[in-house]
Amino acid sequence: MVEAEKTTSKSATANLQALLDRLDRQIIHLDGASRIGKSDHALRVLEVARRVLEHEEGLPALRQRIGVMDQAGLFSGSDWACPTNLQPSLVKQTLTHAAPATITLEAMSLLRFLVAATGDHANPGLLAEQAKQFLTQVLALNLDRLLGQAADEAQRNAQGPLTPAVDRLMRYLMQELGPDGILDHLIDEVWRIMAQRPLQVDHVKGMVVQIAQALQSGSTNAADAHLGADRLISALFGPATLCRDDPGIAVYINRLSRADERAIQDEAYALARAMHDTGLVSDYHAAFLRWTLDADHARMLPHALGLSTTGLDALRCYESLVYGMVDAAIQPGTAQAVYGLALMLERGILYSPPIAPSLWRLLETPLSEDCTSALGASCGTLLPAKTHLVAGVLMLLGQPLGVGQGNNPTCQSARALSMWALNDPDYLLWLIAQITRGDRLVLHFEGEPLDTATLPPGLATSALLDADPVSVLLVPHLDRAYAEMGRRCIGRSEDPHRWINPELHGWWVGRAFHIAVDVATGALKEYEDFLRAFHASYHPLHNGNQPVIHPQPAGIAVTDATGTFVGWHAITLIRAGLDQDGHTRVYFFNPNNDSGQDWGHGVIVSTSGAGERFGEGSLLFEEFAARLYLFHDDVLPSPATVVQVPDEQIARIAAMGRKSWAAGRAG
C-alpha cells in the first residue's frame, strides 16, 4: 500500500511538472505574440493554467509564474486588464457561474493580487494595501467555501469541475494572508461601505451573513474578530426583543399579536435604532411595518421609522399616501425601502406640490410588459415588479447620494438620477411615469425632441442587472439620449459637455463652462487660469463665502493609486466648506459604487470623519482642484469681498496636476 501511494505521488508530481513545462512554453509564446495574436495565445495559456489549477499542488507554481504571465499580457484587452477597476463583489459570481477559461482568468487575477499584497511581485498599478483590501473582501464573500459549509441545492447544482480548485484557491489565499485580522478587516470594510449609505446593499448583507457564520462556527481564532460585528448581525437578524433569536417572520408576527402595548412600542424603537445606526434594514422591520397597518397599530409607524418632528409632520400631512407606499413597496424582500421612506419623510419633499400627486400616479399606474420584464430580470420574480419599483423610488428619493452605476460605463446617467433625486425630484418622477407608461423617454436638446425609443444604444449595450430598480428602467434610455446629444455636438470646437450638461440635467446647471484641456489635442490649456476660476467660483475664502446653491456637474481626471491617469469621470460638486479641523474641503458625489478611492500621491478620498454627509466623498480643496478638469459656473457677479488666490497656492496645485493626470500634456 505504501509503495502504491509513493508511485501515485511520483506520477502526480511528474504530471504537474509536465504541465508546468508546457505552461512555461505557452507563456513565452504569449510574450512574443503580436497585439493581434495576444488573445489566441492567452487562451492557450489559460487552458494549461486551468489544468495546473486543478492539480492539488499547482497553486504555488502558478503563484510563482503569475508575475511573468501578467507581464506577458495575459490580462491585456480583457476586463481584468486594470486591477484597480475590479470589484470584489463580482468575483464570487464569476468563480461560480462563468466558463472554465473565465474562472481560470479570475483565479489568475486573484493570484496577481496575492503577490502584490505580499510584495512578491510589484505591480505599478496596484499597491500592496489595495491588493490586501481587495482580497479581504473577496475572502469575506467566499467564507462559505473557507468554512466548508454545506451548499444549498442551487449551489450544489451550480457546482462544476473547477469547484474543488476554487475552494482550494480560497483556502490558499486565506493561508497566505493569515486568518487573524481577516474578519477584523471585513467588519471594518462593512462599516466603511455603510457609512456611505448605498442603495444596493445585497453584497453587504452577504458579507454580514458570512461574518455571522464564521463567528458561529468558531473557526476564527481572532479574539477581537467580532468587535463591531454584533451590531451588524443583530441589525439584520435580531434588531429587537421579539425577534432577537431570529425566529422567522411567521413566528415574529405571532409574537407581535400577543404582545402588550409597551412591548410593541419598545419593538418599534429598537427597530428604528438598529436601522439608523447601521443603514441596514432587517426583514423583521418590514414585517413589523406591515403588521402595524394591518393590526390597527398605525400610531407605531413613526416610532418604527425613527422620525424627527420634521418627518412626523410630513407623515401626518400625507398619511394616506405613506400608508399606500408601505402597502405597495414594503415587504421582507424589499426591507431597505423602510430606510428610504424614513429619509424621504425627513427631507420634507412631500411638501413640494408636485411630489405627492406624482407618487399617487406611480402607485396607480400599471407597469408595461417591458418594464415588468426588465425588473424581473434584475430583481427577481418572487415579488411583483411594481413592488420593486416603488421600493426603488423610495430609496432613491430618501438617499439621492446612494445610487451607483454598478458595473456599467454609465456614470453620466447615474449622476443625473442622483442630481434629480436631490434637486428636482418631481422631474425624476415624470421620467419614471414616461417609462412605465410608454417604454420611452422624450427629452429635448436645444429645442429638438429626442425619443429614446428610436435611438441606438449608448455605452450600456446590455441590460443593467447590478443596479437599483429605478436605474434598471431609466439608465438605458438616459444613456441613449446622452449619446445622441454627443452626436449632435460633433464638429463643434469645444467639449460637448458645455452644451450637454445643462440640457440633460436642468436649467440650474451653470452656463459658464471651464475646461483645463484643449479638446482637439488633449493638452493643458491655460491651466493656472482654470484653477483661479475654480477658486473664484467655489472656494468660500475667494468667492465672498457664496455657497453652492444647486449641485453642479463636474469632471474629474481619475488617477490610480500611483497617480497615473485612468480616464475622465463624471461627478457632482455638492458643496465646499470647512471641516472640523478648519480646512476647506470639497464635498462631492461619485456615481461609482464606492467613493473611498486612492488617487495617488497621497490624494485619498474620504467618505466619513471629515464632515461628510451620507453618500458624499470629500477632499481638501487643493487636492480636489488638482484632479479637476471641467466645471460649470452660474456666472452671477461675485461680491466685492472676493480675495485673490495667492500665486504660490495656484502653482502648488498646478504642480500636483502636472505630476499626475496631466503628465505628458504640454501646456
- In-domain check, residue 159: yes
Alpha-carbon distance of 516 to 447, in angstroms, equals: 29
Compute CA distances 152 → 103, 144, 155, 166, whole Å. 21, 11, 5, 17
Give the three-state DSSP class for 622: helix
Q: What is the three-class DSSP state of 444?
A: strand
- Does residue 160 form part of some domain? yes
Q: What is the pTM of this model?
A: 0.82
Quote the pLDDT of residue 208: 87
**151 lies in some domain:** yes
Report the Cα 251 to chain-centroid distance in Å.
35
* Bridge partners for 569 per DSSP: 556
Domain-embedded: residue 169: yes
**How many distinct structural domains can be found in the chain?**
2
Answer yes or no: are the C-beta atoms of 207 and 190 closer than 8 Å.
yes
Residue range of the domain that includes 569: 512-659
Please list, in sequence order, all residues whose beta carbon lies within 8 angstroms of the beta carbon of residue 346, skipping any fewer than 6 positions away. Answer: 307, 308, 310, 311, 314, 398
Domain membership of residue 203 (yes or no) is: no
Q: Residue 212: count other Cβ atoms within 10 Å of its Cβ.
A: 20
Q: Give the CB-side neighbour count of residue 164, counting CA atoms within 13 A.
A: 8
Indicate the residue among 178, 203, 220 that finishes a domain: 178
Q: Where are the beta strands (DSSP E) in 536-627?
A: 552-559, 565-578, 584-589, 617-620
| Beta-bridge partners for 587 | 575, 618
- For the stretch 51-65, what's the b/e string if a residue is b when 16 or more beta carbons lie within 10 angstroms of its beta carbon? bbbbbeebbebbbeb
- Contact predicate 497/511, CB 8 Å: no
C-alpha Rg value of the chain to the nearest Å:
27
Strand partners, 513: 632
> Is the separation of the CB atoms in 257 and 250 below 8 Å?
no
Find out whether 205 and 227 touch, Cβ atoms under 8 Å: no
643 inside domain: yes
DSSP 174-187: HHHH-STTHHHHHH
C-alpha cell at 438: 410608454
Distance (Å, whole) CA 587 – CA 400:
14
- Looking only at the bridges linking them, the beta strands covering 512-515 and 628-633 are antiparallel
Q: Closest Cα partner for 285 from 257, 314, 326, 226? A: 326
Q: Give 406-452 as a DSSP string.
A: -SSS-HHHHHHHHHHHHH-HHHHHHHHHHHHHHS--EEEETTEEEEG
Last residue of a domain, one of 146, 178, 210: 178
| Low-confidence stretches of the chain (pLDDT beneath 50) | 1-2, 4-8, 149-157, 222-223
- Asked whether residue 276 is assigned to any structural domain, the reply reads no
Q: Would you say residue 53 lies in a domain?
A: yes
Long-range contacts formed by 309-314: CB under 8 A, 24+ apart:
310/345, 310/346, 310/348, 311/342, 311/345, 311/346, 311/348, 314/345, 314/346, 314/348, 314/350, 314/351
CA separation (Å) from 651 to 10, 645, 655, 658? 67, 10, 6, 10
**How many C-beta neighbours within 10 Å does residue 155 have?**
13
Q: Are 265 and 299 in contact (CB under 8 A)?
A: no
pLDDT at position 309:
96
Strands 584-589 and 617-620: antiparallel
Distance between CA atoms of residues 275 and 346, nearest Å: 14
3-class SS at 469?
A: helix
467660483: which residue's cell? Answer: 537
User: Looking at 178, 206, 235, which one is the last position of a domain?
Assistant: 178
